[in-house]
Chains A and B, each alone.
Chain A
């Protein structure tokens, strides 16, 4: 079974140094890049599945020049190969462009399953997996909490988180699956994995090939259908009030505070 996992390098949320550049685009130099957290769950699920069913995992990233380092981390976790789609014109791509480029890159890869994180911590849109599935005309199974492929039958079952529990979805493969944390914690790369990753290949996708596969449709930052016109820190919250009284008195003050704000 071949599984391709879409992996996005994002500014490390824990570093807290994210910022926008003068053009209001993300300043990717300002923060260390990490694998987007939901993509790590997708990758972990993919690795477990190939361990069980055989096959291999390829990671695919559309990202700037820092991407190979992040792809290398995915390789250290156990992915067999990486593919990197990069071109200066892609900086500032919006959802539409990103969807088109990733779909075009995926056309050139053989995959029984395509995994992506349900959303990313930087853009936060959560739209690209659905769009990629639509452009590739593949079944789309979202918000997966459990993934059970049956390679011999060529079908996959997914538990999709619903408002009241979960729906059990079933589709023929190949299919696109959006993955959540409910799939299970990602492994840490082992020392062996880190060593092995050094000799694994990260292929640079031919941008001309991608451009041709996209066809007439516009891609890249210039074609973005959306633009940021202003960015400001939110208004500061009022100063924190601290209560250190004994429990009964503290509780009385909290309830009075809530009543004062008309919350209760």
Chain B
């Protein structure tokens, strides 16, 4: 039997389990089932109870590690050091975490402290005598399949790779303590600032409505926002729109922004340059509205509407609102 598979349960600001962790846990469970491996969830937080309880719906056993220092310190280094100590003690084979900012901080620290290799940004994982990890590289031009050379390692998983599904029966939560002291320098959080209108993380959204240069300005984003609201989705943007100050950087999709994989990507006034394409091309369905029939996005979208987005978007909004059951 292979060694245990561990799932790192990320917590959100209010102490609940991050959505990405429900997906990672679902994926890891399928691998544990395929390999006959033990499956364990780990939550390290100032108050891990809630997130650990939620994670136990997905995996048979959860270790809840209370770590007061994460209350007012940057969590990544602290959680990473605790996880590395637990890995040293319990000797699992693989650790799975999300490929978002929190998971990356943790994975980077665990990798450095344990010397474990990392397969990153998984878009699919199967099992064949160890995890077999697919990832999309070079702006989506290639899908690579990778493995660990040894029998241990860390996998970071992108959002929306699987649909989260609780296990048939809920697991147990057990309080645990990591051995040793925290020795890495801790970074104090002196303030947590909520920004007005900060939307749900776009990486996790099922539907993303995004605007580019063609939206024309801050006022133009109103229609993008309205469409997102009507579809129950999140608002995204290209770098050009962010650089112009029309929308915050947190909404940027692409090479130096976020990578999203929603069920629907609705692109308004977006030409589809490579730097943007890399952030959204794995969306299941891509619909674009663009004036230019020769825009690059017309080559990889599923559906392209050629025309003026300021005429088409309102018509689309009206059509969506007229649907039975809407609004």
Q: Is the CB of B323 within 8 A of A38?
A: no
Q: Is the CB of B323 within 8 A of A240?
A: no
Known contacts A226-B149, A234-B143, A257-B303; A140 and B323 CB within 8 A of each other: no
Q: Is the CB of B80 within 8 A of A170?
A: no
- Interface 1/0s, chain A 57-80, versus B by CB < 8 A? 000000000000000000000000
Q: Is the CB of A142 within 8 A of B76?
A: yes
Q: Is the CB of A254 within 8 A of B303?
A: yes
- Which size bracket describes the interface of A in this complex? 35 or more
> For the complex, is A132 an interface residue (Cβ under 8 Å from B)?
yes
- Which size bracket describes the interface of B in this complex? 35 or more
Q: How far is the CA of A164 from the CA of B319 in the complex (A)?
A: 32
Contacts of A171 in B (CB 8 A): 185, 187-188
Q: CB within 8 A of B118: which of A127, A133, A145, A254?
A: A127
> For the complex, is B42 an interface residue (Cβ under 8 Å from A)?
no
Contacts of B198 in A (CB 8 A): 163-165
Closest residue to B316 on the A side, CB-wise? A251
Closest beta carbon of chain A to B158's beta carbon, Å: 10
Q: Is the CB of A229 within 8 A of B101?
A: no
Q: Is the CB of A243 within 8 A of B285?
A: no
Closest residue to A182 on the B side, CB-wise? B249
Contacts of A175 in B (CB 8 A): 187
Q: Is the CB of A165 within 8 A of B188?
A: no
Closest beta carbon of chain A to B131's beta carbon, Å: 10
Contacts of A225 in B (CB 8 A): 115-118, 148-150, 153
Q: Is the CB of A170 within 8 A of B149?
A: no
Which listed segment binds B: A45-53, A118-126, A192-200, A201-209? Answer: A118-126
Q: How far is the CA of A248 from the CA of B121 in the complex (A)?
A: 40
Q: CB within 8 A of B138: which of A18, A157, A230?
A: A18
> For the complex, is B35 an interface residue (Cβ under 8 Å from A)?
no
- Interface 1/0s, chain B 120-139, versus A by CB < 8 A? 11000000000010001111
Contacts of B143 in A (CB 8 A): 231-234
Closest A-B pairs by Cβ, 6 of them: A225-B117, A130-B108, A131-B112, A251-B315, A165-B195, A127-B108
Which B residues are closer than 8 A to A by beta carbons?
Answer: 12-13, 74, 76-77, 80-81, 101, 104-109, 111-113, 115-121, 132, 136-150, 153, 156, 183-195, 198, 201, 207, 231, 239, 242-243, 249-250, 252, 255-257, 263-264, 274-275, 278, 282, 285-287, 293, 298-308, 311-312, 314-316, 318-320, 323
